Amino acid sequence: MAFRDQIISLAGMFQAGLLVRDIAREGRVSSEKAYEACLRSILITDAVNTESVYGGVESVRLGLEMVSTLYTPENKPRDMEVSQYVLGIAHLERKLMKNAAMLAKMSEGIERVKAQTEHFELTHENVVSNIASVYVDTISNLQPRIIVSGEQGYLMQPENTEKVRALLFALMRSAVLWRQKGGRRWHLLFSRAKLLKGAQSVLNEL
């Protein structure tokens, strides 16, 4: 069960990374359901299990498929952008967890966002903007900063900038969960065959 939880949280990481690439390259997300699941994960801080963080395993199908794509020998160079976002956040996660003041600031910010969702839908621009602001005040100050590659015309649009920041926040949320379930950054580099098999196993459940 612990390994399955690792795979689900890993899928959450790759799903958020994929959606960041979507926005940066195409100016939109490829799945609104996947996008909403990423945002939801930020606010679910007292989940009964790993699946409920995302609203069910089906909600991270896109991430599971991304893991399967990336960890097969035929993966495309473009897909490596997603992997770089995941590896970058996984590195910053260790720094974040050692920064008590930043964690407290994040927690306060998340509580503000939770209160806001009583009045707005989770994907409403006001909520996304608030999540992005918490990211800017906290995670974005960790070094090295995550650099998003893409079309500047899309990345310069304020709405897209805020979505990217919110998704990077979601990626961090999943990275924290990944470590809590026993995942380690080196697994992403040296345990690909095992992770691929795990992702395919969870996909077969769907």
d(CA 106, CA 201): 34
Cβ–Cβ under 8 Å, residues 83 and 17: yes
Q: Say which residue the tokens 């991430």 belong to.
A: 63
117, 129, 158 from 181: Cα distances, Å: 28, 30, 35
* Phi, psi torsion values for 114, nearest 5 degrees: -55, -45
Cβ–Cβ under 8 Å, residues 162 and 76: no
Domain covering 2-141+148-205 assigned CATH 1.10.3890.10 in the classification: yes
Give domain limits for the chain: 2-141+148-205
Indicate the average pLDDT of the chain. 94
Both tokens assigned to 189: 């580099």
Q: Give the model's confidence band at 77: pLDDT under 50 very low, under 70 low, under 90 confident, else very high.
A: low
The pTM of this model reads 0.96
d(CA 69, CA 61): 12
Q: Give the model's confidence band at 75: pLDDT under 50 very low, under 70 low, under 90 confident, else very high.
A: low
d(CA 157, CA 187): 35
Q: How many CB atoms lie within 10 A of CB 25?
A: 16
Both tokens assigned to 56: 């069910």
Sign (positive/negative) of CA torsion 88, 171, 140, 153?
Answer: positive
Q: How many CB atoms lie within 10 A of CB 160?
A: 20
The pLDDT of residue 72:
81
Whether the predicted pLDDT of 67 surpasses 70: yes
Average pLDDT over residues 79-89: 92
d(CA 125, CA 51): 26
The pLDDT of residue 103:
97
Q: What is the largest CA-CA distance in the chain?
A: 46
132-143 per-position pLDDT tens digit: 999 999 999 999
The pLDDT of residue 122:
96
Average pLDDT over residues 42-57: 93
Per DSSP, helices labelled H in the chain are 2-26, 32-43, 50-54, 61-70, 80-97, 100-116, 125-137, 152-155, 158-180, 185-190, 192-205
The pLDDT of residue 78:
59
Which burial class, exposed, middle or buried, applies to 159 when counting CB atoms under 10 A from its CB (0-12, 13-18, 19+)?
middle
Q: Give the model's confidence band at 76: pLDDT under 50 very low, under 70 low, under 90 confident, else very high.
A: low
160-173 per-position pLDDT tens digit: 999 999 999 999 99
